[in-house]
Amino acid sequence: MDERAARLRRLRWHCRRALLELDLKFQRYWLQAGDDVDAEQETALELLLEMEDHDLWELVSGRRETDDPRLQGMLVRLRQV
């Protein structure tokens, strides 16, 4: 099994969230992105997925901003889907 493919599968699994809005956002993201996720996006997803759902939703919904440049691009993508 390819290591990168395994990492992407784990990321997809961790994108399953208890908060329905987040779950839907991440489902749409993966439908759009497919396996075309680069290392920078992978890192951003890993950092975002470490957050609690409500804190993460605040960022994804645009109610709160972050000054972490590693997350900004991924948040823009998630807000667009």
Res 4: pLDDT: 86
- pTM attached to this predicted model: 0.89
**pLDDT per residue as tens digits for the range 18-68:** 999 999 999 999 999 988 999 999 999 999 999 999 999 999 999 999 999
Q: Which domain holds residue 51?
A: 3-80
Maximal CA-CA distance, the chain:
40
CATH of the domain at 58: 1.10.150.250
What is the total count of domains within the chain? 1
Answer whether residue 1 shows pLDDT above 60.
no
